[in-house]
Structure 1
Amino acid sequence: MRALDAVAAERAGDAVLSVRDLTVRFRLRGGRTVAAVTDADFDLAAGECLALVGESGCGKSVLASALLGLLPANAETSGTALLAAPEGSTGAVDLLAADEKTLARTVRGRRVGLVPQSPAAHLTPVRTVRSQLEETVRALTGTSRRERGKAAEDAAARAAFPAGHLDRYPHELSGGLAQRAATALALIGDARLLLADEPTTGLDRDLVDRTVDELRRHADDGRGLLLITHDLAAAERIADRVAVMYAGRIVEIAPAHRFFGPPGPRHPYARGLLDALPDRAFTPIPGMPPELSALPEGCAFAPRCPAATELCATRPAFTAGVACHHPERPRA
C-alpha cells in the first residue's frame, strides 16, 4: 500500500482507465427498472490498485461486467469508459461503445484481463487446466509448444496453483483451486488492465495474501488493477486507493492509508464497514440495503444512518471525495 497521496497525482496523466458517468439499468418485465450502477466516476492510473468495496448486491460486479461488455441483453448502459491505447500506439477504446467483435478480438484477455467471481463458469469443463493455460498462452503470445508449456506452469505458480493438479479437469477442483486456476489464466496475457472480481473467494488467509501480493506485483509492473472485494484486509494489504459503493453509487474515494488508518473514511457507510470488522468495533451496520428497483430520491443510506437529517431527502453531490450531506469529521 502506498504511503503518499502524491503517487496518484504523479500518475494522473497516465490513466489506464477513465470512467465517467457509467450507468447500468436492467429492464425487467412489467416495466420495472433496476438501477444497478449510477454515475460511476473514477480514474485508474498505471501502477495503481483501486479497491472497490461494498456489501453484496451494491453493483460492484455489474460495473466490471459493463467494462468487458458481458452484461445480459436487458441491460442498458450509458457514460464512457476509456481504455488507454497500448504503449507505442494511439487511439483509446471506449469500452461501453465498442462492439462485440472489438471486445472479443482486441480487448478481453489482451488489453483487459479478468479474474472472475465465478471461476467454474469461465473454465472449460472438458479440458484440463494445463491445456486451457497452454491454449491461452498460444492465443495471446503465439509462442512455440515447448515455450507454451513452461509459460503455463509459470502462470500456475504465480497464482499458487499446485503443479500436481494441472492435469485435472475443472470438476475435480475445489472452489479455491478453481479460483486459482482462473487467476492463472488472467495473468497470462500481462494485460495492461486487470479486473479482479472477488479473487480470494474460497482461499485461506495465507493463500489470500499470496494471491493479492501477486496481483499487486502485476500493478507494480506499470499496469492498472481494479480489485473488487468484500475482503477489506486484502484491500488494505495492496490498494493505493479505496472506492466505496452503496446501492449502485460510489459514495467515497480515498487514499488507502487514510481510509484504513487515521483519519479514516468520511462517509458514514464507509465508516460502518470498518467498524463491523472483528478486529475493530465489531458492530454491524443496522438495517438492510434498499432494493435497487426502488431507490429513494435522496441519500440511499439515510434510513440506516445515525446522522441523517431532513436534508438527506435530497441526493448529496460528490464533493472532495465523498457523497454525503454530513461527512464525518476525521478521527485522531
Structure 2
Amino acid sequence: MRGGRHVAAVTDATFDLAAGECLALVGESGCGKSVLASALLGLLPANAETSGAALLDGGPDLLTAGERTLARTVRGRRIGLVPQSPAAHLTPVRTVRAQVEETLRELTGVRGPAVRPAVQAAAGRAAFPDDHLDRYPHELSGGLAQRAATALALIGDAPLLLADEPTTGLDRELVERTVDELRRHTDGGRALLIITHDLAAAERIADRVAVMYAGRIVELTGADRFFGRPGPRHPYARGLLEALPEREFAPIPGMPPELGDLPQGCAFAARCPRADAQCGLQPPFERGVACHHASSDDIRRAEEHADA
C-alpha cells in the first residue's frame, strides 16, 4: 500500500530455477524485479502482502516462513544476496575485514590461523583489493562497496544466489570478471538469479531470460533464443534488444505505467505498435510469453525478418 492505494508490485510471477542454472531477470527500472527478490528473503516492508508459494529444494515456503526461520536457516545459508544498494547493507561501524571474518565464522566455521587467508580468498573472488579490507564502508567507492557485498554473498556458497544489479559502478573489465565469478557459483549444482539492466552481462552468463514489465513476467525463454535467433517473441522484449547501441539504438517510445495505476488489459499496449482492441484484455502467459499476438502471423513474420 502507498498513500492508501494498493500497488501491485509483482503479479502472477511464475518460474522455476534448476540447480546449476542461471536465470537473468531483466526489464526497465521500477518494474518489480527487486521486489520479487526481496519477497523471497522476507525483506519486504511490514505493510506488504504476498500470496502464492516460493519453494527451495523441499524447504519451507519462503513467502510464509517466519523471521526466525529466514534469519537462522535461509539467509546466507540457503540463499545468498548481492544487494542492489550494497552501502546500505554493509555495517557502517565495522571494517570490511571484520564483516568478512564474521560471515566466514557463521557460514563456514573458519577460525584461528585459517581466518586471514580465508578472508583474502573471499575478497579475491569478488576482486576486492586486500589493502582496502581494513576500511569502513563510508571509505569505499560505489564500485568497491559493490565488490565487498559480492564477496560477502559468495562466502556461504548458498544453493541459490540472488544477485540484484551486481555490476553497478563497475567498469567493463570488472563487470565481466564479476559475472564470470557469479557463473562459477553454479558449478557443483548451485543456482543463480541475476537481476540486471546490463543485457551484455546477462548474455554472457544466463541460461534463460525472464523479461518483466509492469510487475509481470511477459516472456521466459532460453538465452540463446533471446539474444540470437529467432529472438524474443514479446514486443517489449524485442524492444529492449533493439534499444541497445550495438543493435538498432532505437529506444522504446513512451514510459512504463505506474504500478499503482495499471490498465485492465496489457500494460504494454500504450507503447506497442501492434496493439489492437484485443489488447484491452489481460493476455494469458502461454508457451513462455504473455502477448495476444505471440502466435499470430505478424510476430512470425517479424521473427523471420530477424532470421534473415
For Structure 1 versus Structure 2, the TM-score category normalised by the shorter chain is over 0.9
Q: 1:80 aligns with which of 43, 46, 53?
A: 53
Q: In the alignment, does 2:19 pair up with 1:46?
A: yes
User: Which has the larger share of strand?
Assistant: 1
- State the SS of the aligned residue for 1:41: coil
Aligned to 2:262: 295
Cα offsets for 1:219-241 (capped at 9, x unmatched): 12210000000000000000000
**Residue 272 (structure 1) aligned with residue 245 (structure 2):** no
Unaligned runs of 5+ in 2: none
Which residue of 2 is the match for residue 238 of structure 1? 205
1:152 Cα offset (Å): 1.5
After superposing on structure 2, the runs of 4+ consecutive aligned residues of structure 1 that deviate more than 4 Å are none
Give the residue type in structure 2 aligned to 1:181: A
1:311 pairs with 2:278: yes
- Displacement of 1:29 in angstroms is 3.0
Structure 1 gap ranges (5+): 1-26, 86-91
Map of 1:148 onto structure 2: 115
Is the 8 Å Cα contact of residues 253 and 321 (structure 1) preserved in structure 2? yes
- Structure-2 separation of matches of 1:105 and 1:96: 15
Question: Which amino acid in 1 is paired with 2:91?
Answer: T
2:223 aligned partner, one-letter code = A
Q: Could you tell me how far apart the structure 1 residues matched to 2:2 and 2:131 are? A: 46
Which amino acid in the other structure matches residue 157 of structure 2? D
Query: What secondary structure sits across from 2:14 in the alignment?
Result: strand
The TM-score normalised by the length of structure 1 is: 0.89
Separation of aligned partners in 1, 2:224 and 2:187: 17
* Structure 2 match to 1:14: none
CA distance in 2, matches of 1:107, 1:226: 16
Partner of 2:291: 324
Query: After superposition, what is the alpha-carbon deviation per residue over 1:38-76, rounded to whole angstroms, capped at 9, x for unaligned?
Result: 010000000000000000000000000000000001100
1:61 aligns with 2:28: no
Query: Which of 126, 130, 140 is the matching residue for 2:97?
Result: 130
* Residue from 126, 147, 169 that aligns with 1:159: 126
Q: Secondary structure at the match of 2:16?
A: strand
**Alignment-mate amino acid for residue 39 of structure 1:** D
- Residue 179, structure 1, aligned to residue 153, structure 2: no
Q: CA deviation at 1:326?
A: 1.3
Contact 1:28–1:74 (8 Å) recurs in 2 = no
- Matched residue, 1:36: 9
Question: The residue matched to 1:274 in structure 2 has which SS?
Answer: helix
Provide, for residues 201-246 of structure 1, a one-character-per-residue CA deviation record: whole Å limited to 9, x for no partner.
0000000000000000001221000000000000000000000000
**Residues in 2 aligned to 1:126 and 1:150: alpha-carbon distance in whole angstroms:** 23
In structure 2, what residue type is equivalent to 1:108? R
Using the TM superposition, name which of 53-62 and 124-133 deviates more. Answer: 124-133
Q: Which is worse superposed, 108-117 or 217-226?
A: 217-226
Partner amino acid, structure 1, of 2:190: R
CA distance in 1, matches of 2:120, 2:89: 19
SS at match of 1:251: strand
- Alpha-carbon shift at residue 148 of structure 1 (Å): 2.2
- How many Å separate the matches in 2 of 1:197 and 1:221? 22
Q: Report the AA paired with residue 28 of structure 1.
A: R
1:120-175 CA distance string (max 9 Å, x none)? 11111111111110110001122222222222211110001011111111111000
Whole-angstrom distance in 1 between the partners of 2:262 and 2:3: 18
- Looking at structure 2, the residues matched to 106 and 129 of structure 1 have their Cα atoms a distance apart, in angstroms, of 24
Q: TM-score, normalized by length of structure 2? A: 0.96
SS at match of 1:62: helix
- The count of corresponding residues between Structure 1 and Structure 2 is 299
Give distance in 1, aligned partners of 2:190 and 2:230: 29
Distance 1:74 1:161 in 2: 37
**Any idea what SS the aligned residue of 1:79 has?**
coil
What is the DSSP-based 3-state SS (H/G/I as helix, E as strand, rest coil) of the residue aligned with 2:134? coil
